Amino acid sequence: MAIQVGDKMPAGSFKQKTADGVGDISTDDLFAGKKVVLVAVPGAFTPTCSAKHLPGYVEAVEAFRSKGVDSLACLSVNDAFVMEAWGRDQSAEGKVVMLADGNGAYTKALGMDMDLSAAGLGVRSKRFAIVVDDGTVSHLAAEESPGVLDVSSAESVLAAL
């Protein structure tokens, strides 16, 4: 069953590439005592994700901060090296925390995984955005199809805050 509004975010960790190398960031570090928008995409460097989804959040970082959001984070079933390179490519540094869920364990724990093996992509994340208030889901916007960007766009999530 997929995560719902009012649920606590499952405990877990992500990989993150920094200047010091690849390290872990726990859900406690990410969510405890903060308002965070967690955006998930089917894949780094993919068309909709690179042309529209992540850029919308990068461009709107100040608008999110003005609405009380402490942090924006982008999650994908990719490795930390790919997520760091994609963040650099998208000018996300200092604006959006790039999180890797390499084997999809956290995505599965959320119930937001999908099988794109027929397209040669394996198991990936659905496209979604979750507003997390101190570890609890206060808003969830999941797209019906991986190529669609509507309810999980930066504009839609800003309007919901």
* Active site residue ranges: 49
Q: In whole angstroms, give the CA distance from residue 65 to residue 84.
A: 22
Select from 28, 39, 101 the least CA-distant residue to 64: 39
Pinpoint the alpha helices (H) of the chain. Answer: 27-31, 47-48, 54-59, 61-66, 80-89, 105-110, 154-160
Enter the tokens of residue 77: 């079933």
- From the CB of residue 92, how many other CB atoms can be counted at a distance below 10 Å? 21
